[in-house]
Each structure stands twice: as structure tokens, then as C-alpha cells.
């Protein structure tokens, strides 16, 4: 197994985020204040750069969070292991396919969306 790089570190991910947010907050106030008080081309350019840095950082954080997904790990559930009574219970109180699939996935958190939909559709018809 290859050694981890110095930047591939949970502490750096956590504290790097904190440092970046604090730095952007500290730099942002005076930069915007200067542009409001003295709207020269230089001050406005600094605000534009600050906004671009903020947007870039926010976008990268959202992408990282969506890639990592839910921090809770779930084992996959085999659709054959889901009892018919659970599928019937999920379907019983609703006429909506979507709600039935949602209820079935709440009962069996590791069940994929497609598998839950196939189970509900097979039982409803």
C-alpha cells in the first residue's frame, strides 16, 4: 500500500476548511469596506477576486461533500431478503408508488432505489 501524501489527511481537511473560512471572513470585511468607501478600480477588482475565491471554495466544498456522500455506512440489502410482508406494509397505506418506495427504503436502509421500486411495482401489479 502506498504511503499517504501529507495533504491526504483528515486533520488537514478539517482544519484547512476552518482556516480558509476564517481567512475569507477576515479578508472580506475590509476588502468590501474599502471598495464601498473608495470605489477605485483596484478596490473593486479586489472585491471581485474575493467573491470569485469564495464562490470557488464553496463550490469545491459542495462537490467534495456530494462525493463523500452520507457519512453513515450501510450494507447493501439483497432484494430477495426483503420479506413480502414489509413490501405489503409499505404499499398498504398509500396509493402513491413514490411513497411506498420511500417507506420500503426506510424499513430497509441498504436497499437501493431501483430494487425498492421493482419490489413495489411487482407487488402492486
Q: What is the pLDDT of residue 125?
A: 66
3-state class percentages of the chain: helix first, strand second, coil last, to nearest 5: 75, 0, 25
Q: Mean pLDDT, the chain, as a whole number?
A: 84
- Look at residue 7 and tell me whether its pLDDT is greater than 80: no
For cell 450494507, what's the residue? 75
Give which of 55, 56, 68 is closest to 14, Cα–Cα. Answer: 68
CA atoms within 13 A of residue 31's CA, in its CB half-sphere: 17
Enumerate residues 6+ apart whose C-beta is below 8 A from 51.
none
- Full DSSP string of 5-52: PTTS-HHHHHHHHHHHHHHHHHHHHHHHHHHHHS--HHHHHHHHHHHH
Q: What is the pLDDT of residue 16?
A: 77
- Each residue of 27-74: pLDDT tens digit? 999 999 999 999 999 999 999 999 999 888 888 878 777 765 554 556
Q: What is the pLDDT of residue 71?
A: 46
Q: What is the pLDDT of residue 30?
A: 93
Identify the band that residue 79 occupies on the pLDDT scale cut at 50, 70 and 90. confident
Question: CA geometry: angle at 40 spanning 39 and 44, to 5°?
Answer: 70
User: What's the mean pLDDT in 79-93?
Assistant: 88
Amino acid at each position: 500500500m502506498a504511503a499517504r501524501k501529507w495533504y491526504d489527511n483528515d486533520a488537514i481537511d478539517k482544519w484547512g476548511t476552518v482556516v480558509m473560512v476564517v481567512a475569507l471572513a477576515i479578508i472580506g470585511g475590509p476588502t468590501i469596506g474599502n471598495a464601498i468607501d473608495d470605489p477605485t478600480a483596484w478596490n473593486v477588482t479586489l472585491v471581485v477576486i474575493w467573491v470569485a475565491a469564495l464562490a470557488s471554495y464553496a463550490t469545491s466544498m459542495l462537490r467534495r461533500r456530494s462525493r463523500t456522500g452520507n457519512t453513515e455506512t450501510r450494507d447493501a440489502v439483497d432484494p430477495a431478503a426483503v420479506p413480502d410482508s414489509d413490501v405489503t406494509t409499505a404499499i398498504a397505506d398509500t396509493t402513491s408508488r413514490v411513497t411506498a418506495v420511500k417507506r420500503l427504503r426506510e424499513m430497509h436502509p441498504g436497499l437501493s432505489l431501483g430494487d425498492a421500486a421493482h419490489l413495489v411495482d411487482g407487488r402492486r401489479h
